[in-house]
Structure 1
Amino acid sequence: MGTVERKTAGSSQNGSARPHPMGVQHLLERAQWDPDAARNILRDYVVEQFGERDAVLIVDETGFLKKGEHSAGVQRQYSGTAGRIENSQIGVFLCYAGNGGSAFIDRALYMPQSWIEDRPRCRAAGVPDNVGFATKPQLARRMLERALDAGVPCGRVTGDEVYGGDRPLRLWLESRAQPFVLAVKKNEPLWWKGTDLCAP
């Protein structure tokens, strides 16, 4: 499915045991299911398969290139998928890696401030009124909190500069005594024994 440029129910059906796309169409268009409950079931299954005390929780985002303006959260923004600013959606993901395997266990769609301030546009795209603006590190913290509160075994949390550069996220992990390895920019101010240090 990864080599298909445009995903449809028909192209997504390729490789499935079912020869007709109606099952996929029903799941995508009409089926009623709780995505958060599905997330929790998936998370529990992944931990059952790969769970170990020294496992790693990885936070990262990826872009989904789009041609139109109506998909929730779409705008011209930097997309790591394209390596440049493109019309795209950005998803933040939490991956669990341990015991020789890895899998995604949580996700969140990044909604730019311009979208949150345009409620009619949000409603037209199916975005609930109670969805407010959150930065990517704030979305990551929510996902990490869900996983850690659920008892997901984790030796450390890791992520790139988008997350390492967010001091509140680092302080929150420290407050939980949760080890982490997060990248920071070379000029990120750091504290050492009460002194504000700045790397050259």
Structure 2
Amino acid sequence: MQFTVLPVRERPVSPVPGQAFLVRDNWDDYSFKTTFQLLCVDPGGKIREIGAVKIGRFGMAAPARTPLPEGFDRAWSWFATSSAVQLIDHGGQGHGSAMDLQAVEALDADLAEFTGDIFKYLAYKGQRGYGQQYLRGLMLDGKRKSVEPMAARLGIPRQNLGHFIAQSTWDYSEVMRRIAARAVAVVGPTAWVIDDHPFVRYGHGTAGAVVQHCGEREQHLCQVAVSVHAVSGRGSTPLHWRLFLPQRWAQDPARCARAGVPSGLRHRTKQQIALDLLDELVAWGNAPPLVIADSDYGTNVAFRTGLAERGIHWLLAVQGDTVVLPATGVPVTVWARRRPSISVNQLAGDNRYRARRFVYRPKSADHPARSGWFVAIPIHIAGIIERGYVAKTAGRFLPERTLLIQWRRKHGGDVFAVGERYGCVTSQPHARGHLSRSHARSVSARVRVACSRVKTASVLVRTRT
């Protein structure tokens, strides 16, 4: 089999049956770009998308991109056709194994215990059996995870599996509740991260699909789901998620009916969906230790207010033009004008000299140490919308927050930012003055870059209460 390497986003021209293509991907994994999209041409001349593969070599120094020739054959030792394995070149000895049916069967005991727990509320034995088969199909290799190709890989009738997924009467929320409980027990989260996840689509008839921001593809036809991830030093895992239905879809009942959208589903903003997910997780018996989100949520006053009303501690990214008032310990009423309002960007520049250096990820065998210069400033968020929300409360006092700002270097570097994100605001009031080492130790503050799996560049602060 002949392999051809293509640039980012390019498609094969004049494909030949039996040929394979590796399309470069700009996914940045800690400054390493080793991901490729594997395409194969079947005997009928149709291009099949196999999935993502990672190809690397020991000794690569960041930043680096995997150096591949423009073409090579099957004898080249780095390559294996698996979307579930990372490929490493050991000086000419290629290693890599896919999760095939035999590997899944070796996990039958663990899988039976897992499915026995999450599906045990189902009334019929057949439903529980096909629930286990469905999970086996998801674990097997293969680009498509729809019913027909999974049934073919499992060797079971596709009608039976399709009936279990599409028509069988079982409550999916109970399955999600049980999975969330098991995930929390394994991960031991120090924070919950809320984020948006786009799913690229190529048909306008897919439920909720519109042209919108789609990660590295920028503007593209995609669906977007709002998710809540549990993160800790052990890893990250999704706890709950829900599809975002754009307003143009909600205003077109006929289009929703054709796509199978439930008739009672209405448009809700992403921030409202996130609060709904948190409410459901809390109702399931899970308490969020700390909620983290990017500036799409941090700049939304209704979202911040909703978290505060629920008694949830939060750390949210804000933009540089957010209007604030430096807090001095004296209560500030909603419409007070005793001190001029300034922006987060200006406040960051005025307090840079007070920054202290912290190592938020120690050096390990796989990653170098990472550190930054931080300052924490007590503030009142004083925008017009914020004041309007607070004016409806009994006390009408602007709540005190803490603005956390990070620089890569104390001198000669910009504020650590992604897009227009200039800092993070936390719901917990801070001690007066700069972020001292003694105060940091007293609350066991550990600043970490949020888990790359959920692609959030906000900063996590883990506190011991």
Question: Fold match, TM over 0.5?
Answer: yes
Match of 1:34 among 150, 171, 177: 171
Superposed CA RMSD in Å reads: 2.7
Q: Does the residue aligned with 2:202 lie in a helix, a strand or coil? A: coil
Q: Is the 8 A contact 1:93 1:107 kept in 2?
A: yes
Q: Does the residue aligned with 1:147 lie in a helix, a strand or coil? A: helix
Name whichever of 27-36 and 174-183 sits farther off: 27-36
Per the alignment, residue 44 of structure 1 pairs with: 181
Tell whether 2:85 aligns with 1:85.
no
Match of 1:61 among 187, 196, 205: 196
Match of 2:299 among 157, 165, 189: 165
CA deviation vs aligned residue, 1:106-157 (integer Å, no higher than 9, x gap): 1110111000000111111111222111111111111112223433233210
* 1:106-185 superposed matches below 5 A: 106-185=240-319
User: How far apart are 1:6 and its partner, in Å?
Assistant: 4.8
Letter in 2 for 1:140: A
Q: Is the 8 A contact 2:319 2:344 kept in 1?
A: no
Letter in 1 for 2:275: R
Structure 2 vs 1, CA of residues 40 and 186 (structure 1 numbering), >3 Å: closer, same or farther?
same
- The structure with the greater share of residues assigned to helix is 1
Structure 2 vs 1, CA of residues 10 and 120 (structure 1 numbering), >3 Å: closer, same or farther?
closer
Per the alignment, residue 100 of structure 2 pairs with: none
Structure 2 vs 1, CA of residues 139 and 197 (structure 1 numbering), >3 Å: closer, same or farther?
farther
Q: Is the 8 A contact 1:94 1:143 kept in 2?
A: yes
Structure 2 vs 1, CA of residues 10 and 36 (structure 1 numbering), >3 Å: closer, same or farther?
same
2:254 and 2:198 mapped to 1: Cα distance? 24
Q: Is the 8 A contact 1:51 1:153 kept in 2?
A: no
User: How far apart are 1:11 and its partner, in Å?
Assistant: 5.2
- Tell me which structure has the larger Cα radius of gyration: 2
Q: Is the 8 A contact 2:212 2:221 kept in 1?
A: yes
Q: What percentage of aligned pairs have identical amino acids?
A: 24
User: How far apart are 1:175 and its partner, in Å?
Assistant: 2.3
Letter in 2 for 1:101: G
1:190 and 1:174 mapped to 2: Cα distance? 18
Tell whether 2:344 aligns with 1:199.
yes
* 1:7-26 superposed matches below 5 A: 7-9=145-147, 18-20=154-156, 22=158, 25-26=162-163
Letter in 1 for 2:212: Q
2:226 and 2:290 mapped to 1: Cα distance? 18
2:300 and 2:162 mapped to 1: Cα distance? 40
Per the alignment, residue 74 of structure 1 pairs with: 209
Per the alignment, residue 321 of structure 2 pairs with: 187
Q: Does the residue aligned with 2:238 lie in a helix, a strand or coil? A: strand
2:174 and 2:273 mapped to 1: Cα distance? 18
Q: Does the residue aligned with 2:266 lie in a helix, a strand or coil? A: coil
Q: Is the 8 A contact 2:147 2:161 kept in 1?
A: yes
2:155 and 2:236 mapped to 1: Cα distance? 29
2:293 and 2:287 mapped to 1: Cα distance? 17
2:259 and 2:286 mapped to 1: Cα distance? 33
Q: Is the 8 A contact 1:56 1:156 kept in 2?
A: yes
Q: Is the 8 A contact 2:290 2:314 kept in 1?
A: yes
- By relative contact order (CA 8 Å, sep 6+), the higher-ranking structure is 1
CA deviation vs aligned residue, 1:55-111 (integer Å, no higher than 9, x gap): 21111111111111111101111112x431101111111111246232111111011
List gaps (5 residues or longer) in structure 2. 1-50, 53-82, 84-141, 346-465
List gaps (5 residues or longer) in structure 1. none
Structure 2 vs 1, CA of residues 24 and 85 (structure 1 numbering), >3 Å: closer, same or farther?
farther
Structure 2 vs 1, CA of residues 173 and 27 (structure 1 numbering), >3 Å: closer, same or farther?
same
Structure 2 vs 1, CA of residues 56 and 199 (structure 1 numbering), >3 Å: closer, same or farther?
same
Structure 2 vs 1, CA of residues 8 and 175 (structure 1 numbering), >3 Å: closer, same or farther?
closer
